[in-house]
Structure 1
Amino acid sequence: MSNISTMASPLSEHEHEHAMVQGPPLEKRAVPPPPTDATFKNTVLARVNAYRALHSAPAVTWDNALAQAAKTAATSTVPNFTLWLKKGLDWWYGEVRDYYSWAADHSGQYHFTQLVWKATTKIGCSWSANQCATAHGDYYLVCEFQPKGNIAGQFGGNVLDA
């Protein structure tokens, strides 16, 4: 059993449609330039650690080996539609709205719970553009976490109230 948790999130059709309401139609969006490695890393760490701080979880550090594993996963995946970096992390964290009202196994909030999992200390993320990127300007986000979270029976001690 691996000690690494992988999160990759293409949007569901419902979320994709909702995202389009917030911006111009896909065919009218300009393709943004890809972020530099340093910008990508700093943006991910800042955003993830801000969310973790809301739940009294210590900051994670960047791990290049995890980032390479995420890159391998990101480039081998061809989703139908993809995430913007900040929006992707925001959507993952957005699962918090259902965390306290859903089933005890929290299966509908695994992105959120992994983001704020207290015992996780390292993160590595990557992105890739797919065939949609040229027309839509979107990217696919993958993050690897270590040690992995979402362990049955350990949610109470690792997902703290905001």
Structure 2
Amino acid sequence: MTPPAPQHRHSILPLFLAVVLLLSAPFLVAADIVTVTVQAPVPSDEPQWKDGPAFTSAVLNSTNAYRARYNASAVTWNATLASFAGEYLARSDCRFAHSNGPYGENLAEGYANATAGVEGWGDEASRYNFDNPGFDHDTGHFTQLVWKNTTDVGCDRRLCGQSGWYLVCEYWPRGNVLGQFGTQVDRRVATGAAAAGRVGAGWRTAAAAAALQVAMWAAWYL
């Protein structure tokens, strides 16, 4: 008698385990991944911070550019003010707070260069209410920057670890004097083509008025 042929029983368990392992592989790998957040490097070698003349020029040029936009005369660099700023930075231990000294004062921290720091103050102009002039903590840097009576500025800087460069500027005469904002902070003046257009329009208006007056005199006497 011929023995029956052996029967092969195929178990689905190994196949099931293989599928489970395949699907869980991404999660097993992900569990071993550690995400590390690294702070952006501080630009400690930026010439506007490291080089004295470059720093002074950057602050003066950007300051006077903003002052010109708002009808304020250019300021000059003052060594006494710069020394005060440096002494305050030395004793502040990188604490970001005003010195409460005798001068007007602007602070900035974490900017890539000195020009960007001054621009940060100047950009507060977009939030200033020229129709209701006065002091506001959100725009106080801008109003001091373009204060018309201010004639002198002096600044210094210090690298404060991962916080970046700490910029302090002192101004004299000091700005942000209560009751004087209406006369000391002007609206932005027209520049370039817009200014030329206004001047041209004004000249044409004056010329037309003069021509009309001549015509009236001629009609009177003829």
Give the TM-score range, shorter chain.
Answer: 0.7 to 0.9
- Higher RCO (C-alpha under 8 Å, 6+ residues apart): 1
Aligned partner of 2:175: which letter? G
2-structure distance, mates of 1:140, 1:29: 12
Tell me the CA shift for residue 28 of structure 1.
4.5
Aligned partner of 1:110: which letter? G
1:71 aligns with 2:86: yes
Residue 109 (structure 1) aligns with: 139
Contact preservation (8 Å) 2:135, 2:178: no
Tell me the CA shift for residue 95 of structure 1.
1.0
Larger Rg: 2
TM-score, normalization: structure 2?
0.55
Residue 40 (structure 2) aligns with: 27
2-structure distance, mates of 1:29, 1:157: 40
Residue 186 (structure 2) aligns with: 160
2-structure distance, mates of 1:127, 1:139: 7
Q: Residues 102 and 111 of structure 1: is their aligned pair in 2 closer, same or farther, counting only changes over 3 Å?
A: farther
1-structure distance, mates of 2:68, 2:173: 18
Query: What secondary structure is seen at the aligned counterpart in 1 of 2:186?
Result: coil
Tell me the CA shift for residue 130 of structure 1.
1.5
Residue 148 (structure 2) aligns with: 118
Aligned partner of 1:44: which letter? V
Tell me the CA shift for residue 88 of structure 1.
1.5
2-structure distance, mates of 1:128, 1:102: 37
Mapping 1:80-91, distance limit 5 Å = 82-84=109-111, 85-91=114-120
Q: Residues 153 and 98 of structure 1: is their aligned pair in 2 closer, same or farther, counting only changes over 3 Å?
A: same
Q: What is the aligned length?
A: 134
2-structure distance, mates of 1:27, 1:51: 29
Tell me the CA shift for residue 29 of structure 1.
5.4
Runs of 4+ in 1 over 4 A off after TM superposition: 101-104
Aligned partner of 1:68: which letter? S
Give the root-mean-square deviation of aligned CA atoms. Answer: 2.3
Contact preservation (8 Å) 2:74, 2:151: yes
Tell me the CA shift for residue 83 of structure 1.
2.7
Aligned partner of 1:26: which letter? Q
Q: Residues 28 and 146 of structure 1: is their aligned pair in 2 closer, same or farther, counting only changes over 3 Å?
A: closer
Tell me the CA shift for residue 44 of structure 1.
0.4
2-structure distance, mates of 1:28, 1:132: 8
Which structure 2 residue ranges, 5 or more long, are not aligned?
1-37, 97-107, 189-222
1:100 aligns with 2:150: no
